[in-house]
Amino acid sequence: MTSLNAAPAEPALTASPFWRRLMFTFPASYVFLSLGVGTQPILHLEGLPALRQLADVVSRAVFQVPVPPIPQPTGSGDTAFDWAWTLCLLLLAVAAGLIWAARQRTAPTAGQRAALRTFLRAVLIWWLTMYGLRKFAFSQFGLLNSWQLAGTHGESSPMGLLWRIMAASPGYQLVAGVAEVLPALLLLHRRTVTAGALVAAITMTNVFALNLFYDVPVKLFSGHLLLAALLLLALDARRLLAAFTGGAVAAAPWAPRPVWRRVLPWLLTALVTVQVGLSLRTGLQTLREDRMFTQFSPAPLKSRGFNLIQEKPFNR
């Protein structure tokens, strides 16, 4: 008789078709490379001369654009180097995925799937929290200022227009912050990972679309975060399909976890919650000061609000 607290033995590995193995090995290789050493990476390798020379060769061959020999901080994540380096990582991921799938003739192990899931969760939690906190503090888009109000739409770039739209509504910025911090909190906990991935995919789809169609130079990075959320959902594809079709799948195997793995998510949840409070306090103080200045501003975009009677229809 086995104990109820004993971890179930992992089922025997069986042979799997090559294409099915490749469907795991290639995306896994690409996200580890792109999020590890790509744009806004965990490891910064963009300053290595050999790497930049390789990116320059690829950029000249594919995009007919040279890569600057010395990295200059531009605030852009879509430079010629970024696109060329991403293409290099894509080709490397194809090679790694093919070799990995050829050498491992069985389906991905539970450990491999867990490692990929943990990596994707960690990356999404970090970046969604960072961007969400900036929105609570109004430090990403800011609030409308005099030079923004003095300019015309025709004088704005697409990105500048988007920044003005976001800066015009502090409330919408707070909603956007919730849309990013909420999935991060859900991803912290094992029982709500799938829900967090769903919310993250919806949020990042909107962010990626804004970056793409308003020409915000963070297209590559936001696209990779969207890919991370979609891959998390793909790891639970069977359960999601069963939920929508009324089917049934086997219960996830239970295994005891160390105390620190049960406590850490709640500690991080408390830490993120405190950071949200501090960022919100900073943002509300900034908003209060801006509202005091607004009392002396004749600009309709700064003085409009919810009124029962509004003599001047600023909303037209």
Residue 42 has pLDDT above 90, yes or no: no
pTM above 0.85, yes or no: yes
Residue 303 has pLDDT above 90, yes or no: no
Which residues are registered as beta bridge partners of 106? 15
Q: How many CA atoms lie within 13 A of 211 on its CB side?
A: 19
Which residues are registered as beta bridge partners of 113? none
| Distance in angstroms (rounded) separating the CA atoms of residues 149 and 6 | 65
**Mean pLDDT on 6-33:** 79
How does DSSP assign 201-232, residue by residue? HHHHHHHHHHHHHTT-S-HHHHHHHHHHHHHH
Residue 305 has pLDDT above 70, yes or no: no
Query: pLDDT tens across 220-270, in order?
Result: 999 999 999 999 999 998 888 888 888 877 777 777 888 888 899 999 999
Residue 7 has pLDDT above 50, yes or no: no
pLDDT of residue 304: 54
Q: Which long-range contacts (CB under 8 A, 24 or more apart) does 161-166 make?
A: 161/214, 162/210, 162/214, 162/216, 166/140, 166/141
Angle, alpha carbons 133-138-142 (nearest 5°): 145
Residue type, 38: G
Residue 94 has pLDDT above 60, yes or no: yes
Among candidate residues 135, 104, 134, the one with its CA nearest the CA of residue 29: 104
The 3-state DSSP class for residue 15 equals: strand
pLDDT of residue 108: 92
The 3-state DSSP class for residue 301 equals: helix
* Mean pLDDT of all residues belonging to the chain: 86
- What confidence tier does 41 reach under pLDDT thresholds 50, 70, 90? confident
Cα distances (Å, whole numbers) of residue 280 to 153, 183, 274, 286: 30, 18, 10, 10
pLDDT of residue 307: 47
Residue type, 265: P
Q: How many CA atoms lie within 13 A of 188 on its CB side?
A: 20
**Mean pLDDT on 155-160:** 89
Which residues are registered as beta bridge partners of 15? 106
The 3-state secondary structure of 83-112, one letter per residue: HHHHHHHHHHHHHHHHHHHHHCCECCCHHH
- What confidence tier does 52 reach under pLDDT thresholds 50, 70, 90? confident
41-45, 67-71, 112-116, 241-245: least confident range: 67-71
Quick one: tokens of 191?
């029982």
pLDDT of residue 278: 97
Residue 123 has pLDDT above 60, yes or no: yes
Quick one: tokens of 275?
């950071």
Q: How many residues belong to the chain?
A: 316
Residue 109 has pLDDT above 80, yes or no: yes
| Distance in angstroms (rounded) separating the CA atoms of residues 292 and 284 | 12
Would you put residue 183 in left (φ > 0), alpha (ψ -120 to 50) or beta? Answer: alpha
Query: pLDDT tens across 180-232, in order?
Result: 999 999 999 999 999 999 999 999 999 999 999 999 999 999 999 999 999 99
**Mean pLDDT on 291-298:** 71
**Mean pLDDT on 285-308:** 69
| Distance in angstroms (rounded) separating the CA atoms of residues 247 and 301 | 52
Residue 316 has pLDDT above 70, yes or no: no
Residue 1 has pLDDT above 70, yes or no: no
pLDDT of residue 44: 82
